Amino acid sequence: AQTVTQSQPEMSVQEAETVTLSCTYDTSESDYYLFWYKQPPSRQMILVIRQEAYKQQNATENRFSVNFQKAAKSFSLKISDSQLGDAAMYFCAWRDDKIIFGKGTRLHILP
């Protein structure tokens, strides 16, 4: 069965610093998609970044980037120049036909 594991329930980072959120997954599939979603206190689920498994190049969206290690089944999210608005719950997700979400990492930004 496919699983997604986020080993860090909570993390804190100083404003303007860089933080990396970890995610590992387990699948026997070779073609799939990986995502990071952000859920702020408003509870709206917002797509942060997407990675196609067949692409070797790591995805980047402004201050957000991923480190995708397919062989290790690892998909971490790096947030550069952290801002107060980045405070949220972050979910890693894997998708073949349906999406499997991790349990989430709550990120605190310290002013």
Partner 1 sequence: DAGVIQSPRHEVTEMGQEVTLRCKPISGHNSLFWYRQTMMRGLELLIYFNNNVPIDDSGMPEDRFSAKMPNASFSTLKIQPSEPRDSAVYFCASGTRGVYEQYFGPGTRLTVT
Q: How far is the CB of 77 from partner 1 (least distance, A)?
A: 15
On whether the CB atoms of residues 25 and 94 are closer than 8 A, the answer is: yes
Measured distance CA(36)–CA(66) in Å, rounded? 9
Establish if 104 lies at the interface with partner 1 (CB under 8 A). Answer: yes
Q: Provide the pairing of β-strand 105-110 with 10-14.
A: parallel
Residue 111, classified by CB atoms within 10 Å of its CB into exposed (0-12), middle (13-18) or buried (19+), is exposed
Number of shown-chain residues binding partner 1 (CB under 8 A):
20
**Contact predicate 104/91, CB 8 Å:** yes
Looking at 28, 71, 98, 111, which residue binds partner 1 (CB under 8 A)?
98
Q: Which stretch binds partner 1 (CB under 8 A): 19-27, 58-66, 72-80, 101-109?
A: 101-109
Closer to partner 1 by Cβ: residue 14 or 60? 60
The verdict on 91 binding partner 1 (CB under 8 A) reads yes
26/10 Cα distance (integer angstroms): 22
In this chain, which of 24, 50, 64, 65 binds partner 1, going by CB under 8 A?
50
Point out which residues bind partner 1 (CB under 8 A). 33, 35, 37, 42-47, 50, 91, 95, 97-104
